[in-house]
Structure 1
Amino acid sequence: MRLSKYSKYSAFLLAALLVSACQPPSPSDNHQLSQDSEQANSPITIDADSVTMSSDYILNIKPSRYQPSLGLQGTIEPNQQSRFVTTRDVSVQKILVKEGQWVEDGAPLLLLQQHERVGSNKTTPSDSEAKPKQPTATKKSSAEQVSDDIKESKKESKKESKQESKANDSSASNADGKLNETATDESKTNDNTNNTPVPETSNNASIAIDANVDNNKSTDAQDQDITSSQQSTQPPIVVYASFSGRVDTLYVENMQQVAAGKPLLRLSNDKDLRFTATLPMQAESQLSVGQTVNFTAKGVSETFTGQVSKLSTSQQQPDELMVSVSVVKNEASRDKLKLGMQVIGRVDYGQIAVGNIVPEQAIQDVDLSSLKTPPYQPLTPLTANVWIIKQNQRLTRQPIDVIKYDPSTGKYLIAGISNDSLICLADLPIESVGKKVVIS
């Protein structure tokens, strides 16, 4: 009985499936599986001076070349940014700009009215009497001595008459009247002088200090002079832009009372972008201004370029290095990068180095889970330990750096092992240091 064409085709497919199911795994997979199974079945014996294990726990060195680099992670922000903060209690008379508006350098931003300080010009009796009169103490003592001499001479003569005393009294009273009138005129003059409004100069702008711009700072003496001369009729204080930028945040409203130390607005130049990364201080010797940084942004497939523009010490953490990276202006960066984006990049340093490829089993005392997601590299190399068999067959724990993870092979690139060493894959107790390896 002849089989149909369909039956012959089905039999052929069944035979092909049976053959493929009987195929062994690839050589690399087979080697890894057999090595793991043999290690699981191979006991390790630890004696007082030796460690006995099978050859399956011994790994030969497999070198690999790589370029040393450091990871830089940060947030896109304006390259120039300043927040204006008032140093006095003020009221906002008028806001001259809008949030999001671009302003040029020197443009007026706010009109402020400084609150009058009660008793700012008053002095205590101790200050007015003790301090100012100390320099003239010598002169007063000499004048008193002259007066005493005159009195003594008058006592000796004793020829004063009542008429002369009356004349002297009347002349003295007239003199006192003239002195009083003069004093009154002088006090009026002083009052008129104090009521004169202070002209609007650059010193008036010291009410708002830009913490990031040095040329906007004012001295305490200037602030004191302004405060002492300003009265209720003082003109508004104008706050000017210290550079060209965009008003990205307004913290105040019209007619709002603002206490000293509170922010007024923030000005940013968003045409030039940057991000700042934090690294351990040990990385300072490997970086320099002008180095190229290639980085990517979260949610964007393109790779962008930047340059290291500044290296500084963190004020909060003295052992941390602040690395500022200026974004290179091109069509890609203008269209894709936005303020607040999270970015991560790498900067190369030094010459090509040689590392070693090892399985995860060889690496001790470190958490490697963070390397199993893109970009598969830490910002700085991770510190770990590896068991090494030295040429005298003794065990030692060698500190190494984990450079990166290769997801295609499931292995890691490490640095810090010499080419004449053997790696032990066994998970040994710390007491095994110095013991001799015996291959069973």
Structure 2
Amino acid sequence: MSEATGWPFWVMVVAFIAIGMGTSCMYLGAVATCAKNYGKGKHKGIMLAVPIAAFGLSGMWQSQLGTYVLYERKVDGSRGDVDVFRYFLFLGILLFVIGVIGTFALRIVDDEEEEYIDRTVEDLERSGLLEESEFFRPRHEIQAAYGTFNADAEEGSVTLSEEERQQRKRDLEREEEERRKKNWLLNYETRIFLQDPTMWWLAAGFFLVTGPGESFINNLGTVIPTLTPRSYAAAAPPAGLPSTHVTTIALTSTIARLLTGTLSDFFAPVETHLFPPIPEDRRRARLEAEQANRPTLSRMVFLLPSALILSCGYLLLSTPLPLIDPPLLHLTTALVGFGYGGAFSLTPIIISVVWGTENFATNWGIVAMMPALGAALWGVIYSTAYQRAVNSGSGFADGQCHGWSCYGLWAVTSTISVWIAVGVWLAAWRGWKKRGIVV
């Protein structure tokens, strides 16, 4: 047998690291732009859900494109497997074009950022939180920081009038003060976010929910053969083709993201977020006016059922029913996609409500690392159980595992994990209620 030729394995590892980093940057950039542009309006839920839904929807049409367009032809002319080279070449060109467009198109409109920063700092100053801040130094200290720079600038600008030099100096001081004010505010918000126990409860629940979800999506290609009897051809498994399940997950998760975003906008109560602080009299007046006009439901009322729907998918998979009737895997996939999509849409919305939108990219970026950690953990659980089942006699000659023992332990632990996440999120919700934060 001749040795395979090609690039070394580490090249692929580096490539996938770059793919992951680039995808995350594009995703966070789009969501953060929507959060800052629409985070203070009445429709923040749907506006945050749209880029998140697009992120999930891309898997549907791209998987179908790979299956039915970018495929290898067999000797008899029939459709074979995906042509990996052409498929990745297509993705590379597509992402490069979209990235260039996003670089110039993603902008914060209306330039409300400076006004927001000034208003937030004033609210914090009135609340007494800034009395010990290093930011609020006397004015002459700020001017002193420009002593050397301004002297050099004046020496090189002898042709300028005294009035022009003073105006230039004031402009530089104002720009520096705005920059320092923004940096201080972002650092302050990050400290508040990381020191908040409810943030860690929210992140822990997100970890427990998204870990099994990512693992299920990543291992669909091996779950399907476990439900395929020996008598079936590999090209027509009764549980369905992987591309079909990817499409199902993309569609159901997209529907869930758009639906939960819309419903959370329609029923959500008036924000009484942690940061920036809202004066008590204004908060009470807004609450009374809002409650008099329409019924309200907390966003947690949509998040918790999404998690329970997700657990129903794993619970169904952990029973013997899919082995008896393999097409039931489609129902599992739909439940997982819907529950996973709802949780992935509502979590960033809740973060923007509780901790504000100015530092949203950092805050959501921290919590958004949970799926990667969860996927690693539950991926190990799945692969360990799968290999153990193969070694114990559940494998075929082709090396594929067949039967409940291949995935059953993983499905049970995933179900329990989501139930624990529901309890953790209830604890976070209770903490917000105690502090008067309405989500």
Question: TM-score, normalized by length of structure 1?
Answer: 0.18
Q: Give the structure with the higher percent helix.
A: 2
Q: TM-score, normalised by structure 2?
A: 0.18
Asked which structure has the greater CA Rg, the reply is 1
In terms of fraction of residues, the more strand-rich structure is 1
